[in-house]
Amino acid sequence: MQKIMKSLLAGACATSLLLGSMASHAAEIRERTLRFAFQNVIEHPQGQGAQKFADLLTQSSGGKIKVRLFPGGTLGGDVQTVSALQGGTLDLTVLNSGILAAQAKDFAMLDFPFLFNNVAEAHAVIDGPVGQNLAAQLDSKGLISLGYWDLGFRNITNSKHPINKLEDMQGLKLRVIQSPIYLETFSALGANPVPMAFPEVYTGLEQHTIDGQENPFTVIEGSKFYEVQKYLSVTGHIFNPQSFIIGKKTWDRLNEDEKKLIKDAAVEAQVFQRKVTAQSMEKARGNLEKHVAVNDISPEEKDRFRERVQPVIEKFSKELDGSLVKMMYAEIAKVRAGQ
C-alpha cells in the first residue's frame, strides 16, 4: 500500500512539475505589438508577405504578439525607416537589400547591374554563404536579419519615349533609389538620375519633376505609376533581393521563446512571399500592357548596356570585400554550369 501511495505521489509531483513548467513556459511570451513599416501597398507581394508574417506570429504566440503594419511608405522612405529601427522607434521593415550598403558596404554587390540572369542565380547567392555573411554584418549596425524576400527584376518607365537602345537613355531624368551604385549606374547609361524617397515618386512623375523611374512590374502596377507614365521598357537591369530586418534594440528586449517564434514566422513568410512574387510578375506585366506601351530590350542591345556599366561594377568591387565578391560570382557560375 505504501508503495502504491509513493508511486501515486511521485506521479502527482511529476504532473505538477510538468504543468508548472508548461505554465512557466507559456508565460515567457509577453503581450506586445511590433510596428512593421514598408514602402509598397498591402496588396503588393511585399505587403502580402508582411501580412503573412503578422498572421503567423499572432497565431503562434496565442495572440500575445501582434504586428501593426504601416504600408505605402506612411512612416517615410527606406532611409528614414532604417534609422527608426536603429533608434528603436520602429521594429520591423523589409527593403531592397542594396540600400543597406549605407550600413554595411558589402550589400552594394547585390545591386551590381545585370548581375543575375534569373531568380535561381539570385537565390543561390542570398540563401548561401554570401547572404549569411552579409546578414551577419548588420548585427553591429543595430539591425538583425530575418531573411531575404523577392521583389523581382527592375525595369524602366518614362513619359518621353520607349527605350529600345542605349541612346534612348540620354538625358532622361529618372528617379533612383538613394544609393551610390544606382546613381553611378544610370549616370554611366547617360540618364540624369535623381535620388528620391519612394513615397515622393508618384507626385514627381505627375508633376514632371522627373521623367521616369525604375522598379519591378509589381511595384509599377501596385503604385499605379501607369497613370502618370506612357512607356515601360523591360531592361531587367537589377534584381532586387529584399532584406527583412528587425531593429536590434527591439530584438534585445525579446526573450529566447519570443525570438524563436519570430524566426519561425519569418522563415515561413519568406517561402510564401517568394512564391507570391513569382506568381505575380507576369500577371502584373499583362495588366500594365493594358495601360502603357511595353517593349523588351533585345539581347544585343542589353549587351551594350552591360558593357557601359562595367566600369561601375569594377569601381565598386574595389571598395568591397574582394573574397566575398569572388564567392558571389562563384555561386552564380555554379548555377549557370548546372543549367
Query: How big is the chain by its Cα radius of gyration, in Å?
Result: 23
Name the one residue in this structure whose C-alpha cell is 528620391: 196
The CATH number of 30-337 is 3.40.190.170
Task: Dig out the grid coordinates for 118 from the structure.
Answer: 534569373
pLDDT digits (tens, 9 = 90+) for 153-183: 999 999 999 999 999 999 999 999 888 999 9
Domain limits of the chain? 30-337
Long-range Cβ contacts of 308-314 (<8 Å, 24+ apart): 308/166, 308/188, 308/189, 309/113, 309/114, 309/185, 309/188, 309/189, 311/188, 312/113, 312/181, 312/184, 312/185, 312/188, 313/112, 313/113
Q: Name residues whose C-beta falls within 8 Å of residue 22's C-beta, 6 or more positions apart in sequence.
A: none
In the sheet where 231-234 sits, what is the strand order? 192-195, 173-176, 212-215, 155-158, 231-234, 293-296
pLDDT, mean of residues 222-233? 97
pLDDT at 11 over 70: no
pLDDT digits (tens, 9 = 90+) for 268-298: 999 999 999 999 999 999 999 999 999 999 9
pLDDT, mean of residues 300-315? 96
| Pairing verdict, β 143-153 and 239-247 | antiparallel
The whole-model pTM stands at: 0.86
